[in-house]
Structure 1
Amino acid sequence: MAARTLNAIVRMLEVLCSVVLLAMMLLTFVDVVGRYLLGAPVFGASEMISTMLALTIFLGLGIANARDKHIVVELVDHRVRSLAPRAYDVVVQGFSIAAMCLIVFVLFQQAIEAAHAGTTTIVLEWPLAWITGTVAGLAALSVVSQVLGLVVGRGGAAGHHLEDV
């Protein structure tokens, strides 16, 4: 059950991330062509690209958390891990989940503040509450995918290889 749910979440995140990244690339292309060849850039392109970048980052974060494929710097890692491998994994994953929960909390707080203040983006005047709330929701989904990944088991410490670093 948990494995199927995790696979469905990851697949959805992959598809959405691909679509947003494709849209960001196409918008950038059209904006550059319009700016330098036609003298008419796309109105608000930088705001749209910034928003899509935030979405891409947090969609990708959910995928990375689900697969435990973060960048790993192993300076003293192997020494500490060899002393107590299970405790090490619990501490590292616990810290990671706590940090992600803090990010979710702060993003939701910012979304609530933006909703109360009625703040919008500068050029397109998009409601910041919707943008920040969406990013917060993706961060929360990232926490869910990380926890499900732990339940399902992704290989953990033994799953890290040199090419993953």
Structure 2
Amino acid sequence: MAGRALERLIRFCTFVGALAIAVMMLATCWDIVARWAANRPLHGVVELVEIMVLASAMLGLPETFLRDEQIRVDLVDSFLSQRALALLKIVALVLSVVLLAIIAVNVYQPMVDAYRFGDLKYDLGVPLYPLYGLIIFAFAASILSCAAALVRELGTGEQ
């Protein structure tokens, strides 16, 4: 099982991701009602929804990896032995860690550039560099989740 600190971190990510979904729903509903009732739509709702989708998607990844709840199509399960499937799962976790690390490293420079050049969302004026930082944070938490799942898989062989 993952360490207590990791579980708290992942639970925090999930909570903030769920909060982002709630903000997205409320903003969309408010925009629709305000547009219908008073012809006064909520300014910047599209950008707000974009930011909340980013937050909910990225912050949902760590728990998905830790709980082994990724969407997958089991094409080879009936052809391979249990041992081969366990090995395939280990390889997939290692490749997931590598891919997440590559993406996180490659998001760093755009984050620095967005900070240096003062890039902002057009309507809301929200700086872009914290959004890149959110991606890096979420991928780092996902890497820790994958590593914990890999340790669990290597240690116990559970699925």
Q: TM-score, normalised by structure 2?
A: 0.86
Structure 1 distance, partners of 2:95, 2:5, is 24
Structure 1 distance, partners of 2:134, 2:117, is 17
| Root-mean-square deviation (Å) | 2.5
Residue ranges of structure 2 left out of the alignment (5+ in a row): none
Whichever residue aligns with residue 35 of structure 1, its letter is R
Structure 2 distance, partners of 1:17, 1:32, is 23
- Once the 2 structures are TM-superposed, how far is the Cα of residue 86 of structure 1 from its aligned partner? 4.1
Corresponding position of 1:10? 10
Check the 8 A contact 1:6/1:149 in 2, yes or no.
Answer: no
Does residue 30 (structure 1) correspond to residue 30 (structure 2)? The answer is yes
Structure 1 distance, partners of 2:59, 2:4, is 19
Structure 1 distance, partners of 2:156, 2:43, is 46
Q: Across the two proteins, how many residue pairs are aligned to each other? A: 159
- Once the 2 structures are TM-superposed, how far is the Cα of residue 146 of structure 1 from its aligned partner? 1.8
Corresponding position of 1:118? 118
Mark the CA change 1:115 to 1:86 in structure 2 (over 3 Å): closer, same or farther.
same
Check the 8 A contact 1:81/1:88 in 2, yes or no.
Answer: no
1:14-163 correspondence runs (5 A)? 14-80=14-80, 82=82, 84-153=84-153, 159=159
Q: TM-score, normalised by structure 1?
A: 0.84
Identical aligned pairs, as a percentage? 27
Mark the CA change 1:7 to 1:154 in structure 2 (over 3 Å): closer, same or farther.
farther
- Once the 2 structures are TM-superposed, how far is the Cα of residue 158 of structure 1 from its aligned partner? 5.6
